Structure 1
Amino acid sequence: MELSLDEVESPMGILLLAAGGGALHGLDFADCAPRFRRSLEARYGAVALRAAADPCGFSSRLKAYLGGDHGALAGIPVEPGGTAFQRRVWAELQRIPPGATRTYGHIAASLGQPSASRAVGLANGRNPICLVIPCHRVVGSGGELTGYSAGIERKRWLLAHEAGARGGSPERLGGAASPGRARER
């Protein structure tokens, strides 16, 4: 399979974006490139990544999101692969609006499987399309920031960035950005 690859600068580091056939197939941080490639190869076997400027307009939308247009990622077609359960979890994550959070238990209950919090957490951790499938919006049962495979500091930055839509002001990664106590809505 051949996919278009672009790199997008962000305050959290470079993001790698893989697209093809009008859909986003992967989005991850450049320092997680081996995981990014493994995820694509697990789904498609051999993958050729060809450099492309703004494939499908997705890079522009990602830049708009990073620039403060928190709705810019909504509706981007995704092709994450995964099991039927993972796809249900990832679809539910896409229903969490920017600036809001949900707990693993809330996601499990919304799927009609209230005892599946741990399975939701595992699916969340295998999300191959960060930001567009917003796994950073899932928090622990007490509102604590937990389990973000690209690092808790990035999760904190993303939540603060999205809180900017409510009047907060995120800082660059490494600063004292904090979304405050994460809230379930």
Structure 2
Amino acid sequence: MTMFYDRFDTPIGRMLVVGDDDAVVHIDLPEARRPLAIAPDWRRDADALAEARTQLLAYFAGTRTCFELPLAPRGTPFQRGVWEALLDIPYGETISYAELSRRIGNPKASRAVGLANGANPIAIIVPCHRVIGANGSLTGYGGGLDAKRHLLDLEQRHKPFALSA
């Protein structure tokens, strides 16, 4: 299977997006703790990842609140379960690691959930930045706390208003 990648500038810096013929498999943030190495057999192809780029740039512009892309994150079944639960956190909202643990049916797994959250290979689209400390503090983020703060501030500025009945 052919792997494609593209790099482009965003308000938080230059991002790397990786995909295959079917889906996005990885997004590397500019200040990633463990930057992804581009394999020699991967092909740079902006056209193959054009829709991911378009949707991410719309997100940064505040005009997109959810993504409609095929995703194929690679991880253990537990990690994939955590990442699936991250997709249910609404735009502009945050939850704690303990709450995320409860949502996956394992309330005593906060530490394991934190590790899985930190291993999320598709940052922003799978919104691991929406998970914060129990006291509301911004805790570790693979792309750096400045990026996490930027993403959360962006979502607060562009959060859709809920209409009350």
- Shared fold, TM over 0.5: yes
What SS does the corresponding residue of 1:5 show, helix, strand or coil? strand
Q: Which runs of 5+ in 1 are unaligned?
A: 41-45, 168-185
Instruction: Describe how 1:31-70 pairs up with structure 2 within 5 A.
Output: 31-32=31-32, 35-37=35-37, 48-56=41-49, 57-70=51-64
Q: Residue deviations 1:27-63, cap 9 Å, x none?
A: 01245396323xx8xxxxx662211124241111111
User: 1:95–1:47: structure 2 CA closer, same or farther, 3 Å change rule?
Assistant: farther
1:10 matches 2:3:
no
Segment of structure 1 superposing worse, 111-120 or 158-167: 158-167
Correspondence for 2:141 among 126, 139, 148:
148
The residue aligned with 1:109 is 102
Q: Distance in 2 between matches of 1:141 and 1:33?
A: 23
In the alignment, the residues of structure 1 paired with residue 24 and residue 42 of structure 2 have an alpha-carbon distance, to the nearest angstrom, of: 13
What is the deviation of 1:166?
3.5
Which of 119, 128, 134 is 1:135 aligned to? 128
* Equivalent residue letter for 2:62: G
Equivalent residues in 2 for 1:152-167 (5 A)? Answer: 152-166=145-159
Indicate if the aligned counterparts of 1:70 and 1:98 stay in contact, CA closer than 8 A.
no
In structure 1, give the amino acid aligned to 2:114.
G
- SS of 1:25's equivalent in the other structure is strand
CA RMSD for the aligned pairs?
2.0
Aligned to 2:65: 71
Structure 2 CA distance for aligned equivalents of residues 33 and 158 of structure 1: 17
More helix by share: 1
Identity %: 39
- CA separation in 1, counterparts of 2:31 and 2:141? 14
* TM-score, scaled to structure 2: 0.88
The residue matched to 2:59 in structure 1 has which SS?
helix
Aligned equivalent of 1:25: 25
- Secondary structure in structure 2 of the residue aligned to 1:6: strand
Query: For the Cα contact (< 8 Å) 1:28–1:130, is it kept in 2?
Result: yes
- TM normalised by structure 1 equals 0.79
Matched with 2:163 is none
Instruction: Report how far residue 116 of structure 1 moved.
Output: 0.4
Does 1:125 find its partner at 2:118? yes
Structure 2 Cα separation of the partners of residues 159 and 31 of structure 1: 16
Aligned residues: 159
Q: 2:83 aligns with which of 80, 83, 90?
A: 90
Structure with greater contact order relative to length (CA < 8 Å, sep ≥ 6): 2
> Structure 2: any 5+ residue segments left out of the alignment?
161-165
